[in-house]
Structure 1
Amino acid sequence: MIDNKLKHTRLIKTEAKRLGFLSCGISKAGFLEQEAPRLEKWLNSNMQGQMHYMENHFDKRLDPTKLVEGSKSVVSLLLNYFPSQQQMSNGYKLSKYAYGTDYHFVIKDKLKSLLSCIQDEIGEVNGRAFVDSAPVLDKAWAAKSGLGWIGKHSNLLTQQVGSFYFIAELIIDLELEYDTPVTDHCGTCTACIDACPTQAITEPYVVDGSKCISYFTIELKDNIPTEFKGKFDDWMFGCDVCQDVCPWNRFSKSHDEPLFNPHPELLSMSKQDWQEITEETFRKVFKKSAVKRTKYSGLKRNINFLKE
């Protein structure tokens, strides 16, 4: 007879697959011992720049049982966003994750459905869904649950599919069967370190967030420092360089989530079009996009920085 832990684990993984997640891994909720000194050192080196929220809730960031009362399991999920079509090669660029509908909305709905299924099938299970929206170390949990390893560019990597996917979690008060981590397959490769336009990857597995193009184009509210002029490689929102050059991303396959498909205009806009973008076009092309986070004024600032 199959015990309940195994039965419940199978149920969750089967439903995750039905909802369109690439994969699902499960870890025992508890203190992330190995991550604590790394996070402390990173913060003490001011690599968070103006992302002051990274300094908050240090204890909760390292221990989900302090974040979700009574939690026993962290269910980590991956959702593919690799597009079948990409922008014109001679235009200004935005990260592939921002092509379609804001992932927060898409994944939150899927997580709510997963939690509802768990509650319907198993009974009273309490928990919370997280999509990049609270102090949860997504990549650490995904790695702990065997969904991949943290690459030298600090993104999660998976042999079969690369790294173009979102990571999300359900933290629940249900004991389950736990997965184990996989080994690191970066080897001697330094492609991501060598290719980073702003040398933000200061050493293998360490990214100085305050030097990253994604930080400058999304998080930074002040003017972009002039010392980085000419180093942005035409990225106006986010940056995919470290992922684009990674050999493991040769295995990326395009997603099948209609909501992640880009607005048709997005793929055909030239540099001239971007330079002349109006607020009306911005609202139309990025109606439900994560790009709205930087607002029209922020995107214009980034474009002006690239063209000056």
Structure 2
Amino acid sequence: MTSKLKYSEMIKAEAKRLGFLDCGISKATFLEEEAPRLEEWLKRGYQGEMKWMENHIDKRLDPRKLVDGAKSVVSVILNYYPEETQKHPDAPKIAKYAYGEDYHFVIKRKLKELTEFIQTEIGEVSGRAFTDSAPVMDRAWAERSGLGWTGKHSLLLSKGTGSFYLIGELILDLDLEDDTPVADHCGSCTKCIDACPTNAIVAPKLVDGSKCISYLTIELKDQISPSFKDQMEGWAFGCDICQDVCPWNRFSKPTKVEEFSPHPEMLDMNKQDWQEITEDVFRKVFKKSAVKRAKYAGLKQNIDFLKPTY
């Protein structure tokens, strides 16, 4: 066994021990196929007000510009699928990834442990950890490392586990054994495209971010346009519609990551509880959640916008 293969297997085994659903490796190189797609996506204005998507394009497409001497991208995925969901069907809905602790912190902690393992067991290795917080194309690297394929909703999909997981990376100056991408298994299915109430999925694997409910309820800082009034389907923070209808998600299993356990009060909140939510309740229920990104005023604005459509 070569040292590349040996180290790769060690890293994957440790990643799974730390609770990651899976781990894959790809060569740190320029994302040649993604470059024209990203350029076209930005040209069409699909980023909406997410102007940060227009920054650091060179780093977004080449990890060697983020980490000196980068040779490998170690991608990991972490399951967040909850055992229980919100109990009241007429209550404003929160995306499942935001039920528990903010995934940025959870994944970063685990990646820090993985980095320490690598440096202890392999030697002097430099690199950086990322999870949706820097100019890194997470899905592209996860796809290259064989963790899944890009579904028509533009999210990463796996035959065995669906899409309810989050992605993180270690970009390292360590030469490792590359994995092989997997085949696309969406076939002729268009359930995600058909189900999107705002028609944000404009073509297979192409999403107009400015129409996506997740964008409207999280990234958009202005008032949501009245044109979306009857299209929100009760979502107050994020949206899971395209994932909920995906046939591959019938294989989703509840996460074992304790940090993703939802606050029990949140699951029990009914329509009236949400409409009358106070800042104190918001701080208590979403103390560690990604919902804090919207802040109390933003979440309240989203809930008020839904009236009387839920």
Q: Using structure 1 for the length normalisation, give the TM-score.
A: 0.99
Counterpart of 1:290 in structure 2 is 290
CA displacement 1:249-296 (0-9 Å, x = unmatched): 000000011110011111111111000000000000000000000000
Aligned residues: 307
* 1:138 correspondence with 2:138: yes
Counterpart of 1:57 in structure 2 is 56
> What aligned pairs does 1:99-178 form with structure 2 within 5 A after superposition?
99-178=99-178
Which SS does the other structure have where 1:53 is aligned? helix
CA–CA separation in structure 2 for the residues paired with 1:275 and 1:167: 33
**Structure 1 counterpart of 2:41, one-letter code:** W
Counterpart of 1:208 in structure 2 is 208
CA–CA separation in structure 2 for the residues paired with 1:273 and 1:307: 14
Counterpart of 1:248 in structure 2 is 248
**Structure 2 counterpart of 1:170, one-letter code:** L
Runs of 4 or more consecutive aligned structure 1 residues displaced over 6 Å after TM superposition: none
CA–CA separation in structure 2 for the residues paired with 1:137 and 1:220: 21
Counterpart of 1:70 in structure 2 is 69
Which SS does the other structure have where 1:217 is aligned? helix
**Structure 2 counterpart of 1:227, one-letter code:** S
Counterpart of 1:182 in structure 2 is 182
**Structure 1 counterpart of 2:142, one-letter code:** A
CA–CA separation in structure 1 for the residues paired with 2:123 and 2:203: 47
Counterpart of 1:31 in structure 2 is 30
- 1:8 CA displacement: 0.6
**Structure 1 counterpart of 2:160, one-letter code:** Q
Please list every run of 5 or more consecutive structure 2 residues that lacks an aligned counterpart in the other structure: none
Which SS does the other structure have where 1:105 is aligned? helix
- Identity across matched positions, percent: 68
Counterpart of 1:17 in structure 2 is 16
- 1:7 CA displacement: 1.1
Which SS does the other structure have where 1:47 is aligned? coil
Please list every run of 5 or more consecutive structure 1 residues that lacks an aligned counterpart in the other structure: none
Which SS does the other structure have where 1:142 is aligned? helix
**Structure 2 counterpart of 1:307, one-letter code:** K
**Structure 2 counterpart of 1:19, one-letter code:** L
**Structure 1 counterpart of 2:107, one-letter code:** I
- 1:75 CA displacement: 0.2
CA displacement 1:67-120 (0-9 Å, x = unmatched): 111100000000000000000222110100000000111110000000000000
- 1:60 CA displacement: 0.6
Please tell me the root mean square deviation across aligned C-alpha atoms, in Å.
0.6
CA–CA separation in structure 2 for the residues paired with 1:90 and 1:84: 20
Which SS does the other structure have where 1:152 is aligned? coil
**Structure 2 counterpart of 1:82, one-letter code:** Y
Which SS does the other structure have where 1:79 is aligned? strand
- 1:301 CA displacement: 0.4
CA–CA separation in structure 2 for the residues paired with 1:121 and 1:25: 19
CA–CA separation in structure 2 for the residues paired with 1:13 and 1:176: 11
CA–CA separation in structure 2 for the residues paired with 1:264 and 1:25: 34
CA displacement 1:33-67 (0-9 Å, x = unmatched): 11000000000000000000000001110000011
* 1:87 correspondence with 2:65: no
Counterpart of 1:40 in structure 2 is 39
**Structure 1 counterpart of 2:11, one-letter code:** I
CA–CA separation in structure 1 for the residues paired with 2:126 and 2:174: 8
Counterpart of 2:228 in structure 1 is 228
CA–CA separation in structure 1 for the residues paired with 2:68 and 2:157: 30
**Structure 1 counterpart of 2:86, one-letter code:** Q
CA–CA separation in structure 1 for the residues paired with 2:75 and 2:288: 25
CA–CA separation in structure 1 for the residues paired with 2:145 and 2:105: 24
CA displacement 1:185-214 (0-9 Å, x = unmatched): 000000000000100000111000000000
CA–CA separation in structure 2 for the residues paired with 1:116 and 1:262: 29
- 1:135 CA displacement: 0.4
CA–CA separation in structure 2 for the residues paired with 1:149 and 1:123: 33
Which SS does the other structure have where 1:303 is aligned? helix
CA–CA separation in structure 1 for the residues paired with 2:8 and 2:143: 18
**Structure 1 counterpart of 2:14, one-letter code:** E
